[in-house]
Structure 1
Amino acid sequence: MTDIARKFYILDTNVLLHEPLALYSFQEHNVVIPMTVLEELDRIKDRQKDVSRDARVAIRSLEQLFQDATTEQISQGVEIDHKGVQLGGVISIFADHHASFIQESFSEDEPDNRIINAALYLQKSKAPAKVILVTKDINMRLKAKGAGLKFVEDYRTDQVIGDVDLLSKGYQKVEGQFWDNIKECETFNRGEDTYHQLKSEKILNPYANQYVIDEKNDFVGKVTEHFKDEVELLDIGYDRLMNQQAWGITPKNIYQGMAINALLDPKVDLVILTGPAGCGKTLLAVAAALELVIENKQYDKIIVTRNTPDIAENIGFLPGTEEEKMMPWLASVTDTLEVLHKNDNCSASSVKYIMDKANIQFKSVNFMRGRSIQNSFVLLDECQNLTASQLKTIITRCGEGTKIVCSGNLAQIDSNYLTPVTSGLTYIVERFKDFEGSANIYLNGVMRSRLAEFAEEHL
């Protein structure tokens, strides 16, 4: 590749915090790390936050690439070697501050400004080569474009889909009645269950544990096997689906019915629930957990955890044990327990009794690393605020006999560096959809109240 054809990618700090190994994602092109980025990574690596680990991973990766390089080679660039494989690209460190030759567009008081100034300098000095600033900071992208930088991009290498509207919902709806235009079908029984094997032309891109429904609510099936041109469906039936119960809770719509079916299925180890606020994600998950732990005795305990913004600082100021500190963050679960037992003579005593009987444990995400969780029902709430690597860390903690439920609302992302398409929740929905031990359901419709439903639609 010619020097002109090689692009220069200038990486912002937040890119390396989002994906520490992003250094290896730019193939045969030039990767430039401003000195300001190294300084920011140095400040972050010793914090008591989860991002400090990502900062350390990024620093170690850079050290490995530059360990044998001279000062001149570091500034000019060294070849990118990833696990012994030459990727064809070159990485360098650019001294972007205290350099009189840089034409300033902004004052150098802010790290972002120094990085933008460096990008503008490289755009001028490396012309006609293409210089691209890569950052996950939307405001920084706007500032850079306003200052005259021609090419500014988000880091998208980790995206599995281009638009969140393309995210798999866990089911597909067939127009009209399902059996219309089905010409060939082989029906057989396995035990008490009925299966249909038919041509897959009416079911587009089927995957394991995907539900199939029709507009008339006459048919509900679940994909159990799919071949090149055929698909095998378990015939569940609409009435059977809607009459399921989990701790006294019955589904209010077909989407909740599919969710309960997946939650109670012993063959499904991972259930992913997405949907708007008030659609019943937490209620159904908690009800299913109590049903499986107390009534069916399928699991020994329930572990509840969730992402907590600024957890490393704020959690330390709360009194009590780890579980007591987590209680404010997990109020949605305790509220759900109260709803499930609101008709008891003494609901407060019932909730306390159930929490002891089900051995419900509230844990911080920060303390999940290194654990091996056996024979447990794990509820991971608010997953939309987790990255793919954070979710991987938690899911890989699950050992034999453990079921994990990941729930979240992609419209309520609080992280500064995540969007619906880069959220870890989106990532696992797409990555696990072909895994026979997982199911995902988008719970369409707000069941909490008419007020919540109106707010979800109009605000």
Structure 2
Amino acid sequence: MTEAERKFYILDTNVLLHEPLALYSFQEHNVVIPMTVLEELDRIKDRQKDVSRDARVAIRGLENLFEDATTEEISQGVKIDHKGVLLGGSISIFADHHASFLQESFSEDEPDNRIINTALYLQKSKAPSKVVLVTKDINMRLKAKGAGLKYVEDYRTDKLIDDVDLLSKGYQQVEGDFWDTIKECETFNRGEDTYHQLKTELITQPFPNQYILDDNHDFVGKITDQFADGVELLDIGYDRIMGQQAWGVTPKNIYQGMAINALLDPSIDLVVLTGPAGCGKTLLAVAAALELVIEQKQYDKIIVTRNTPDIAENIGFLPGTEEEKMMPWLASVTDTLEVLHKNDNCSASSVNYIMDKANIQFKSVNFMRGRSIQNSFVLLDECQNLTASQLKTIITRCGEGTKIVCSGNLAQIDSNYLTPVTSGLTYIVERFKDFEGSANIFLNGVIRSRLAEYAEEHL
């Protein structure tokens, strides 16, 4: 690649907060960090929020790159060295603060304006090289384009899929009757289970623990092994999968049936449940947790956690212990426990008894780092608001004998920096779909009430 072919990528602050190691994502191209970005990182690094950690990681990454560089090299650009490997590109710091030579399009009162002015200046001075402003701020992208900047992009390196509609649902539905289209099949038994080995083009891009069903629901199977020219299916059957139950809860549709099957499967360590509001994600997870802990005694305790975004206004510091502070955020779980025991003579006493017997613990995501969780059923609720790095922190806490269930609705993201395609929930669905110890199910359909179903479809 010639120097004229190398692009200049100007990074906004929110890119480094979203992905602190984005510095290494541009390979053979040139990365420019405006001085304003360093100033914003400096102001953010001392805040008492998760974003301050990302700011510190980005600052340390920049320090490692410029550690042995001279003043001239910092302004001209140093080679990007990632773990001893030269990527081919360079990184530099541009002194944009009140630079007299910048052709101003905006006043310099706002940090975003100084960054846009920098991009416009480099677009003119570095021609014919392509200068690209990279920012996750939609309004800033519109301002930059309106000011005459030719190339403005979102940070897309962390996107595993282009559209959330392409996200794996955890099952494939084949047209017509499944057996009418199968020409050759080898059937055998392992214990009480029936398996089929078949060669078929009906199943596209198969992966472990993916469910297969046909239009008539006469056949329901699960992929247990893959070959170069075929797959092995566990024959579950529609009646069998719909006849399952967990803590008295039976599936109301085939999607809930597949979810319960995955939740109760001892060979699956990670279950990801996605779907619209009211599809039963939390209900099924809590019911399965109680079944596995109290009835089957596979786990010693239940740990429930979620992040705590300020959806509306901050309600201030809450009194009490960590679990008491988390109770308002985890009301969905306590509501579910009440629903599961609403027919008891004294539902309140039943809930308290079950919480004590199942050793249910409510924990904050902020205090999960550094822990090692053994022999536990972990329920991570509302994880559409978590980043990939936050989910990695939580999942890597799980030790031997631990099962984790991640649930969320990608249509209810509250984070300013996350979209459905960059959410940590999307990330783990795509990254873990080829892992034999995981399963993901998209729960299609709202069963909470006809009011919730109508609202989901029309609002």
Q: TM-score range by the shorter chain?
A: over 0.9
Counterpart residue identity of residue 294, structure 1: I
Aligned counterpart, 1:121: 121
Aligned counterpart, 2:384: 384
Are positions 1:55 and 2:55 aligned together?
A: yes
After superposition, residues 305-316 of structure 1 pair within 5 angstroms as 305-309=305-309
Aligned counterpart, 1:241: 241
After superposition, residues 140-219 of structure 1 pair within 5 angstroms as 140-219=140-219
Please give the alpha-carbon distance, in whole angstroms, between the structure 2 residues aligned to 1:8 and 1:46.
30
Counterpart residue identity of residue 76, structure 1: Q
Aligned counterpart, 1:438: 438
Counterpart residue identity of residue 149, structure 1: L
Native 8 Å contact 2:182 2:200 kept in 1: no
Q: CA RMSD in A?
A: 1.2
Alpha-carbon deviations, 1:234-269, whole Å to 9, x = none? Answer: 000000000100011000000000000000000000
Tell which deviates more after alignment, 427-436 or 104-113.
104-113
After superposition, residues 318-337 of structure 1 pair within 5 angstroms as 318-337=318-337
How far off its partner does 1:304 sit? 0.5
Aligned counterpart, 2:220: 220
Aligned counterpart, 1:82: 82
Aligned counterpart, 2:231: 231
After superposition, residues 257-296 of structure 1 pair within 5 angstroms as 257-296=257-296
Counterpart residue identity of residue 288, structure 1: A
**Could you list the runs of 5+ residues in structure 2 that have no partner in the other structure?**
none
Native 8 Å contact 2:246 2:291 kept in 1: yes
What SS does the aligned partner of 2:5 have?
A: coil
What SS does the aligned partner of 2:89 have?
A: strand
Aligned counterpart, 2:421: 421
What SS does the aligned partner of 1:183 have?
A: coil
When normalised by structure 2's length, the TM-score is 0.98
Native 8 Å contact 1:315 1:325 kept in 2: no
How far off its partner does 1:294 sit? 0.6
How far off its partner does 1:177 sit? 0.7
Native 8 Å contact 1:134 1:153 kept in 2: yes
Aligned counterpart, 1:23: 23
Counterpart residue identity of residue 317, structure 2: F
Please give the alpha-carbon distance, in whole angstroms, between the structure 1 residues aligned to 2:343 and 2:165.
40
Counterpart residue identity of residue 400, structure 1: E
Counterpart residue identity of residue 219, structure 1: F
How far off its partner does 1:314 sit? 5.3
Alpha-carbon deviations, 1:401-454, whole Å to 9, x = none? Answer: 000000011111111111111111111101100100000000000000001101
Native 8 Å contact 1:49 1:310 kept in 2: no
What SS does the aligned partner of 2:391 have?
A: helix
Please give the alpha-carbon distance, in whole angstroms, between the structure 1 residues aligned to 2:181 and 2:37.
60
Counterpart residue identity of residue 66, structure 1: F
Aligned counterpart, 1:350: 350
Please give the alpha-carbon distance, in whole angstroms, between the structure 2 residues aligned to 1:141 and 1:210.
40
1:315–1:196 distance in 2 versus 1, CA, 3 Å: farther
How far off its partner does 1:181 sit? 2.0
Native 8 Å contact 1:208 1:434 kept in 2: yes
Aligned counterpart, 2:64: 64
Please give the alpha-carbon distance, in whole angstroms, between the structure 2 residues aligned to 1:443 and 1:396.
26
Please give the alpha-carbon distance, in whole angstroms, between the structure 2 residues aligned to 1:359 and 1:337.
13
Please give the alpha-carbon distance, in whole angstroms, between the structure 1 residues aligned to 2:262 and 2:113.
50
Counterpart residue identity of residue 60, structure 2: R
1:408–1:187 distance in 2 versus 1, CA, 3 Å: same
How far off its partner does 1:332 sit? 0.7
When normalised by structure 1's length, the TM-score is 0.98
Native 8 Å contact 1:201 1:229 kept in 2: no
How far off its partner does 1:200 sit? 3.2
Please give the alpha-carbon distance, in whole angstroms, between the structure 2 residues aligned to 1:350 and 1:39.
55
After superposition, residues 335-374 of structure 1 pair within 5 angstroms as 335-374=335-374
Aligned counterpart, 1:136: 136
Alpha-carbon deviations, 1:113-143, whole Å to 9, x = none? Answer: 1111111111111111111011111111111
Please give the alpha-carbon distance, in whole angstroms, between the structure 1 residues aligned to 2:283 and 2:109.
49
Aligned counterpart, 1:14: 14
Please give the alpha-carbon distance, in whole angstroms, between the structure 2 residues aligned to 1:114 and 1:385.
30
What SS does the aligned partner of 2:118 have?
A: helix
What SS does the aligned partner of 2:187 have?
A: strand
Aligned counterpart, 2:98: 98
Alpha-carbon deviations, 1:203-222, whole Å to 9, x = none? Answer: 11111000000000100000
Alpha-carbon deviations, 1:155-205, whole Å to 9, x = none? Answer: 111111111111100000010111012111010000000000000322111
What SS does the aligned partner of 2:272 have?
A: strand
Please give the alpha-carbon distance, in whole angstroms, between the structure 2 residues aligned to 1:245 and 1:83.
50
